């Protein structure tokens, strides 16, 4: 009983602090960071816990939404390769409604689309097998072979080169598995991406440290700022996913008032996110608007490069971990 009371107390305390944290997080750019640095911390969720909670909630819901609507299945056996696209009831209802309207204006096109929905014929390989074969590329002027002519990257440890060649050897089989079930790589990607984003945070804090080198702030202060801003982005994205999902559930036709409300919410949040980040930068670091705009642009470009690299890394790692 004592342990249960302690767990409930901790949960209720987190719940109440989370509610108090949401308002400044969403509507008062920079306030959470300023309050935290000023020592006003007790009433809010700690930055790291806030980030972990918001990121897990967003990626969890995004993974569910990404996997529910459409399921693609392929068959590469035999002389021809077939792709079968299976849709849930909601997606199918929307498609059927669109086809019904299209029949009145372009009946031939509607019939063609209907015929191709369940099974889409794709052209196979020249041999007509549709099978994935051994990797075919050259290294040192000779065909690659894991045993006799492996790929060797200078200065890399032996175990790295061994793992790289093993992945090359296994890539055709993994490619076949992915073609048969694309959800494999998608699910793995959503498992890897949250950890990749978390590892990215220290680099983002270094960006702030570099561009505000003379701001007389410790590295951890920049890290707190990065945690709060990323938490805001995740919560805003989570709201968009929730609103879109609720609107589609209430109005599957995606033409009524719920859809218009969801579009308005999406527009407001998409506009608010960059404005929020700019205002938070101004309020936390206290420089003039001109200098803040310059640094906002340079940090934004640098962050985009980092995010692109992190996403590519997450994709490659997802393939490796299959």
Angstrom distance (rounded) from CA 134 to CA 149: 14
Specify whether the CB–CB gap between 253 and 73 falls below 8 A.
no
Q: Residue 100: what pLDDT?
A: 74
- Least Cα distance to 204 among 66, 319, 310, 94 occurs for 310
Tokens standing for residue 209: 């440290």
The residues that bridge with 70 in the sheet, in sequence order, are: 87
What is the C-alpha R_g of the chain? 25
pTM, two decimals, is 0.70
In eight-state DSSP terms, residue 143 is E
3-class DSSP assignment, residue 9 = helix
Measured from the Cβ of residue 54, the count of other Cβ atoms closer than 10 Å reads 24
Report which of 319, 29, 4 is spatially closest to residue 171, judged by C-alpha positions: 319
- Maximum alpha-carbon separation in the chain: 72
Residue of 113, 117, 124 lying closest to 75 (CA atoms)? 124
What pLDDT sits at residue 129? 44
> What integer pLDDT is reported at residue 169 of this predicted model?
81
Burial 233-255 (b: 16+ CB within 10 A, else e): bbbbbbebbbbbeebbeebbebe
Q: Which residues of the chain fall below pLDDT 50?
A: 1, 3-4, 7-8, 11-12, 69-76, 80-84, 119-131
Do 310 and 200 contact (CB within 8 A), yes or no? Answer: yes
Task: Give the residue carrying structure tokens 């590295």.
Answer: 219
Backbone angles phi, psi at 148, to 5 degrees: -90, -30
The pair of three-digit structure tokens given for residue 163, joined into one six-digit string = 């793992």
Cβ partners under 8 Å of residue 219, min gap 6 = 205, 206, 209
300 half-sphere exposure, CB direction, 13 A CA radius: 12
């Amino acid at each position: 009983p004592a342990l249960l009371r302690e767990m409930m107390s901790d949960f209720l305390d987190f719940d109440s602090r989370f509610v108090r944290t949401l308002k400044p997080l969403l509507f008062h750019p920079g306030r959470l960071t300023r309050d935290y640095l000023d020592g006003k911390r007790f009433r809010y969720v700690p930055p790291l816990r806030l980030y972990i909670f918001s990121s897990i909630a967003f990626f969890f819901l995004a993974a569910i939404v990404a996997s529910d609507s459409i399921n693609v299945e392929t068959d590469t056996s035999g002389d021809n390769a077939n792709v079968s696209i299976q849709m849930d009831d909601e997606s199918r209802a929307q498609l059927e409604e669109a086809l019904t309207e299209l029949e009145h204006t372009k009946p031939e096109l509607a019939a063609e689309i209907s015929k191709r929905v369940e099974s889409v014929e794709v052209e196979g390989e020249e041999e007509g097998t549709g099978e994935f074969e051994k990797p075919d590329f050259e290294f040192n002027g000779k065909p690659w072979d894991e045993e006799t002519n492996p790929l060797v990257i200078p200065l890399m440890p032996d175990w790295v080169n061994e793992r790289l060649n093993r992945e090359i050897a296994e890539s055709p089989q993994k490619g076949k598995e992915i073609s048969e079930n694309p959800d494999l790589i998608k699910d793995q990607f959503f498992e890897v991406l949250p950890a990749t984003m978390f590892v990215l945070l220290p680099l983002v804090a270094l960006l702030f440290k570099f561009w505000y080198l003379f701001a007389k702030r410790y590295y951890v202060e920049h890290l707190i700022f990065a945690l709060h801003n990323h938490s805001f982005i995740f919560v805003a994205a989570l709201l968009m996913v929730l609103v879109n999902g609720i609107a589609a559930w209430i109005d599957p036709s995606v033409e009524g008032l719920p859809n218009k409300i969801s579009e308005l919410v999406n527009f407001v949040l998409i506009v608010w996110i960059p404005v929020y980040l700019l205002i938070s930068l101004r309020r936390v670091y206290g420089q003039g608007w001109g200098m803040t705009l310059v640094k906002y642009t340079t940090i934004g470009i640098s962050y985009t490069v980092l995010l692109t690299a992190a996403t590519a890394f997450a994709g490659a790692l997802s393939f490796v971990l299959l």
